[in-house]
Chain A
Amino acid sequence: GQNIDQPTEMTATEGAIVQINCTYQTSGFNGLFWYQQHAGEAPTFLSYNVLDGLEEKGRFSSFLSRSKGYSYLLLKELQMKDSASYLCAVRDSNYQLIWGAGTKLIIKP
């Protein structure tokens, strides 16, 4: 079966750096997405990786290793507004998105 694994919850301190990992086992691979979802709201797009390596976008970076079935989202200079759930999703060989359950990130002052 297809599976996306990411930690259920993480805690970090304001101003620090946090890395959220995602491992996947899917039938084929056509890209990996990271979304941010604040409580009670809809997910919003953060990043997209289809080739190995690091994609940087401001305070957020996303890394992909296709051979390892692994990605991480790196958040720098954490702010209180970064408290949210972070969803990892992989597009399989049928171009369907397989979603992880999300990682709830708690930022403490």
Chain B
Amino acid sequence: SQTIHQWPATLVQPVGSPLSLECTVEGTSNPNLYWYRQAAGRGLQLLFYSVGIGQISSEVPQNLSASRPQDRQFILSSKKLLLSDSGFYLCAWSRPALESGELFFGEGSRLTVL
């Protein structure tokens, strides 16, 4: 069976510090991978998605970046966090096909920037 894990689950970081959130998928090959951010009272915002190693599409301009060094590993990073980066970050995967089905989400990472 397929599983997805992301970590850390919770972190509190000062403004200007770096960030690294990691996500790994097991039990499937060549998944589509996604990073979302969820703010209170708002819909999920797609930050990045990837259809293969080294292929990253960015949906919104920001001080965040993503990388996919391995087929089932997706990393969200920042060199300098802003207060507005606080939120609930979700990694997700879907099956590799244009008409892919549902998204499977990781446990989520709650980031508080102070």
Contacts and interface: CB of A to CB of B under 8 A. Distances in A.
Interface string A42-68: 111100100000000000000000000
A44 B105 contact: yes
A100 B25 CA distance: 26
- Sorting the interface of chain A by its residue count into under 10, 10 to 19, 20 to 34 or 35 or more gives 20 to 34
A101 interface: yes
A87 B90 CA distance: 14
A30 B104 CA distance: 18
Interface residues of B, number: 19
B99 A95 contact: yes
B31 interface: no
Contacts of B110: 40
Given A30-B99, A42-B90, A101-B41, A96 B105 contact: no
Interface of A: 4, 8, 30, 33, 40-45, 48, 87, 89, 95-102
Nearest to B42: A101
B53 interface: no
B105 A95 contact: no
A33 B105 CA distance: 14
Interface string B18-50: 000000000000000000000001111110000
Contacts of A8: 41
Contacts of B100: 95
B108 A45 contact: no
Given A41-B108, A42-B108, A99 B102 contact: no
B99 A97 contact: no
27 contacts: A4-B43, A8-B41, A33-B103, A40-B108, A40-B110, A41-B107, A42-B90, A42-B106, A42-B107, A42-B108, A43-B90, A43-B105, A44-B105, A45-B102, A45-B103, A48-B101, A48-B102, A87-B43, A87-B44, A89-B44, A95-B99, A98-B43, A99-B43, A99-B44, A101-B41, A101-B43, A102-B43
Given A4-B43, A97-B46, A101-B43, A33 B102 contact: yes
